[in-house]
Amino acid sequence: MAVRIKKGDALSTINMTPVIDMVFLLLIFFLVASRFAEEERHLAVVLPSASEAKPLVAAPTELFVNIDAAGDFFVDGRRVNEQELESLLRQSVVNNPSTQSVIIRADKKVALERVVVVMNLCNRTGVHGYSVATADESP
């Protein structure tokens, strides 16, 4: 004689609508967040290559300073002069006192002096975590 097991009604009462809503909200959040992380890399800058270069990972407290081939500074996609850049660096240090870092993305044709200007501004404003981005030297 076969044994019959009575299935409960517990699974039929679980409402899946909130779970689906949360999945869609998380999906939208990650799509928007990944879009903002890529905005700083749209300026057409040809980076110099280095054999020990590693992929760039953007953290929320990083400020990107782009230097094009003509030696002009760009922050958040807009052109700035040295005084404006110093002001932006000071403000970013106020917002993130101990964790502010700056990524300097300079075209390989730009004079080293322009990169040193940004480094000097970083030192003057209290940003000690700055680095120069390079391209990977893969064959």
- Are 50 and 134 in contact by the 8 Å Cβ rule? The answer is yes
In the numeric block, the tokens 């106020």 are attached to 94
* CATH code: domain of residue 75: 3.30.420.270
The answer to whether the predicted template modeling score (pTM) of the entire model surpasses 0.85 is: no
State mean pLDDT over 94-123: 88
User: Is 6 within a domain?
Assistant: no
Supply 38's token pair.
């890529």
Any domain includes 99: yes
> What confidence category does residue 80 fall into, taking pLDDT thresholds of 50, 70 and 90?
very high
Q: Is there a domain that residue 23 lies in?
A: no
- Report CA Rg, the chain: 24
Looking at every residue in the chain, the average pLDDT score rounds to 80
> Domain containing 90: what range?
43-136
Q: What is the pLDDT of residues 12-33, one digit of tens each?
A: 667 888 889 999 999 998 877 7
Three-state SS string across the chain, please? CCCCCCCCCCHHHCCCHHHHHHHHHHHHHHHHHHHHHHHHHCCCCCCCEECCCCCCCCCCCEEEEEECCCCCEEECCEEECHHHHHHHHHHHHHHCCCCCEEEEEECCCCCHHHHHHHHHHHHHHCCCEEEECCEECCC
Residue 128 lies in a domain: yes
Is position 88 within any domain?
A: yes
The reported pLDDT for the residue numbered 56 is 43
Domain-embedded: residue 25: no
Is the pLDDT reported for residue 59 higher than 50? no
What pLDDT score was predicted for residue 58?
38
What pLDDT, in 10s, does the model give residues 34-47? 766 556 666 677 77
Flag whether 14 is in a domain. Answer: no
Total of domains in the chain: 1
